[in-house]
Amino acid sequence: MRIKDFKLEEYFAKHEFNVKYTLCSSDCESFSVDELLTLEKDSLEDLKGVWLGYTESLGSPILREEISKLYENIHQEEVLVFSGAEEAIFVFMNVFLSKGDHIIVQYPAYQSLYEIANAIGCKVTKWLMDDENNWELDLDFLEANVNQSTKCIVLNFPNNPTGYLPSKEKYNRIVNLAKKNDVYLLSDEVYKFLEYSIAERLPSACDLYNKGISIGVMSKSFGLAGLRIGWIATKDKALYKAIASFKNYTTICNSALSEFFAIMALRNKSVILKRNLGIISDNLNLLDNFFYKYKDLFKWIKPKAGSIAFPRLLVEDSVEDFCLGLLKEKNVLLMPSTNYNYGDRYFRIGFGRKNMPEALKKLEEYIKEKYEALI
C-alpha cells in the first residue's frame, strides 16, 4: 500500500518532544505509574505478578469486560482490543474497504479516517463542516451524497479538531439514514465521556445499529496514551471475525502491562474522568476569556465536548507562519490547519493539560508583541 504522509503525526514527531509547551495536544493530562497504582489497594503486588508472555489476541477477557461496560448493550465478545485507536482504524479500513468503494467522511478529520481509504483506491466524499455555520453538519448534503456504492459513513463525535458534537436528534437522523440505506457507520468515539454536559452525550453507534462500529481508546478522555490500548466494539460478527484475523498481521496481541493498567483505569474511570473534566473546565474558562479579549484576532467557537478546539485566525497572516513564530519565539506548539489539509486559516488548540494556563500566557505575550497595533 502506498499512503501519503500523516501530516499531523509528522509534525508532532518533529516538535512535540523538543518544545516546552504543547498547546495543541488532544489527549488529557496523563498519569504516572505511581499515580495509577494509588487507585487500588494491593495493586503493586498485582503488578509484580503480571505475566509477560503473549496475551490473548482479542484482548484480555477481563479488559474486554471492562470496556463493554462503557456501552449499553455490548458484550465482551463484541469487543476487540488493539494497539491504540490508530491500529483499529487501520485494520477496519483494510478489512472492510476495496478499491472503488465510496465512503463519506465528516471533515476536517483525523487523517487516517480518510487517507487509508484513499490509499486503498476508494472514492472519498468529504462531508464538510464550516465555522460560518458553527461547525454544524448539513444533513441534506449527506442525504444527497449517499448512493448505491456507498459502503460507509465515517463519523467522529466529539470531533477532532472542532470539538463539535451534534444534538441527539441530529445524530439519530444520521444513524437512521445509514440504516435506511444499509450503509455501515464507522464511529470514532475516542473523545466520548468528555462532554461538558452529560445530557448531551451521544449513544454509541455500536449500541444503536448492528452495522455500527465504535472505536474507543485509553489515550484521550482517560489520558493514558502511552498504554497504546484502543478497541473496536461491534455487533457485526462476520466483520469482527475478519478484523480479528487481520490483526494477526499487525500486532497479534497487546502488551500485558498495558492491559493491566487499562483494566485498573477503567475500573476507576469515574475518578479519572472527573479529574480530566475538571482540568478541561478550568482551562476552557481561561480560553473563553482569552478569545473574548482578542476577538478581533480570532474567531472562537466554543466546543461542546473534548479537549481541543479549532479557532480561526482573522488577521491576514498565514497560520503556518503564525504557529512557526510562536514556536520559535515562545517555545509553544500550536497545530496549523494545513496539517489537516483544511486551508491555512485555523489552528488546533488543546486544553486537557495542567500547564495550559502557562502556555496561554506565552501565547498572549506573543500576540501582544506581534499585533501591538491591532489590539
Ligand X SMILES: Cc1ncc(COP(=O)(O)O)c(C=O)c1O
Provide the binding-site residues for ligand X, judged by CB under 6 A.
Answer: 26, 84-86, 110, 156, 160, 188, 190, 217, 219, 225, 230
Query: What H or E segment, with its residue span, contains residue 187?
Result: strand 184-188
Least spacing, CB of residue 294 vs ligand X, in Å: 26
Least spacing, CB of residue 317 vs ligand X, in Å: 26
Least spacing, CB of residue 8 vs ligand X, in Å: 8
Nearer to ligand X, 194 or 319 (CB): 194
DSSP structural state of residue 159? P
Least spacing, CB of residue 353 vs ligand X, in Å: 14
Nearer to ligand X, 190 or 309 (CB): 190
Residue in the shown chain whose Cβ atom is closest to ligand X: 84
Nearer to ligand X, 160 or 276 (CB): 160
Least spacing, CB of residue 296 vs ligand X, in Å: 30
Cα separation, 335 vs 359, whole angstroms: 14
Phi, then psi, of 39 in degrees rounded to 5: -70, -25
With vertex at residue 344, the alpha carbon angle to CA 135 and CA 139, rounded to the nearest 5 degrees, is 25
Contact 86, 111 (CB under 8 A): no
Least spacing, CB of residue 230 vs ligand X, in Å: 5
* Alpha helices, H only, the chain: 7-15, 33-37, 43-48, 61-68, 84-96, 112-120, 139-145, 168-180, 205-208, 237-247, 256-267, 269-293, 319-330, 356-370
Nearer to ligand X, 87 or 236 (CB): 87
DSSP 201-223: PPPPHHHH-TTEEEEEESSSTT-
Nearer to ligand X, 137 or 367 (CB): 137
Nearer to ligand X, 222 or 290 (CB): 222
Distances (CA, A) of 67 to 63, 130, 269, 375: 6, 34, 11, 49
Nearer to ligand X, 68 or 83 (CB): 83
Cα separation, 344 vs 240, whole angstroms: 39
Q: Three cell numbers at 53?
A: 508472555
Least spacing, CB of residue 85 vs ligand X, in Å: 4
